[in-house]
Amino acid sequence: MICVLMMASGAGWESDAFARLTGTDGVVVLKRCVDVDDLLATATSGQADVAVVGLDAPGLDPSAVTHLRRYAVRPVAVSTAAVDDLDVRARAARLGIAALVACDDLEPLAEVVTEVEDVADTQVRDGHDPEPPAHDGGAGGRRIVAVWGPGGAPGRTTVAVSLASELARRGSPAVLVDADPYGGGVAQQLGILDEVSGLLSAARLAGAGQLAERFGSTARAVGDGLTVITGLPRADRWIEVRPTHLESVLNEARAVGDVVIDTGFSLEDDPAGDFAARPSRNAMTLTSLGMADEIVVVGAADPVGLSRLARGLVDLREATGGVPVRVVVNRMRSTLGWSEREIAGMVEGFARVSGLHFLPDDQTAADRALVVGASLFEGGETALVRALGGVVDAVFPASASKEPARRRGARRGMLRR
């Protein structure tokens, strides 16, 4: 028995399609859904096998089709134009739908529904999990690096901006993506005053299948070699960015250069999000971490910050598995009364990390860079800049040979491993 969901959004072909499917042996129309949200919520129940959808239905985008596949629901699209039309085929391909039927010729619909095959991303009902993605640096060896830190960790955005801007200064193209679902500060930190969010623009284009052609229109060039995708203008707009949208953005960004992502702090997932046919608030953060080739974790050097860092490293390991993790301890100062080695022993007790770095407390340099809307590296040589340069060397080793000779010696602030 094949259970079918229908979603025509009021199109005239719906009644004819319903009659043909209900008159076919072995086919049951489980529900006629009113819109995409209704379709996705119903698919989550795990009872449907096929979804017959209008190709031009409002809200039908690649993320919706991915959601169907996640619950092993195979999509079949009904087009208002001939199925051999190149524009129709291109639209279906962008959505990820291969099975097409024309609305003026529904004769083959029942046969297509009974024979359509599709590879589900996750066979939820069978309990099979997908293989974890390989972190091989993508095409051309370009990497995705996510900068994350637990709640209250100061300097996460500063570190992300510093990594991307210094990488670009060394002559390697870099893309800085603000993917903080609680409202990021990358634009403000770099003095970008555009009111249009690059992330929201890119998400809309990804939903329409046009991101590859128009990715450049969503990005802002800052100096030579640095491209910035600005974040959410208001924290309540996180719901407009689905995980598949962000995946598309990051893949397109990697085609431009190495990618640095400024993420949110929370790793908590919302299982109810699937049932509401919407992403969870922290899906942006979890998606960024899941696509990263390496994660840079920022924590504070004070007792509260170190306690949060320890718990955060444990939570991060559970959420991401074997992705390499590098720890940056920020605002390190002698008045705290403990050494770098003592902090290193604490960190090693909670996680195996690929590197541990210390950034000295230099509020004056940080304030000056923030006020003028520039990266720390543009403010001249300081101990903090030298320490951040060591982090860039470690995260992007290929760029170290491009760095000016001024500070290619031993780096202060990095604990060699």
pLDDT, averaged in runs of 10, over the chain (417 residues): 91 92 92 90 90 89 84 92 87 87 92 77 41 49 94 90 96 97 90 87 86 92 93 91 90 96 91 61 93 96 94 92 92 91 90 92 92 90 94 92 54 42
Taking the C-alpha atoms of residue 217 and residue 201, their distance in angstroms, rounded to an integer, is 8
Identify the residue whose tokens are 């859904």. 33
pLDDT confidence of residue 131 = 45
Taking the C-alpha atoms of residue 95 and residue 101, their distance in angstroms, rounded to an integer, is 15
pLDDT confidence of residue 403 = 63
pLDDT confidence of residue 118 = 58
Would the CATH topology of 2-115 be identical to that of 139-415?
yes
Q: The tokens of 204 are what?
A: 């809309």
Query: Could you tell me if 76 and 115 are in contact, meaning their C-beta atoms sit under 8 angstroms apart?
Result: no
Taking the C-alpha atoms of residue 261 and residue 144, their distance in angstroms, rounded to an integer, is 8
pLDDT confidence of residue 405 = 47
Domains of the chain: which residue ranges? 2-115, 139-415
14, amino acid identity = E
360, amino acid identity = P
The architecture CATH gives domain 139-415? 3-Layer(aba) Sandwich (3.40)
Identify the residue whose tokens are 């860079």. 369
DSSP 343-400: HHHHHHTT---SEEEEEE--HHHHHHHHHHT--GGGG---HHHHHHHHHHHHHSHHHH
Query: Could you tell me if 289 and 320 are in contact, meaning their C-beta atoms sit under 8 angstroms apart?
Result: yes
Domain 2-115 has CATH 3.40.50.2300: yes
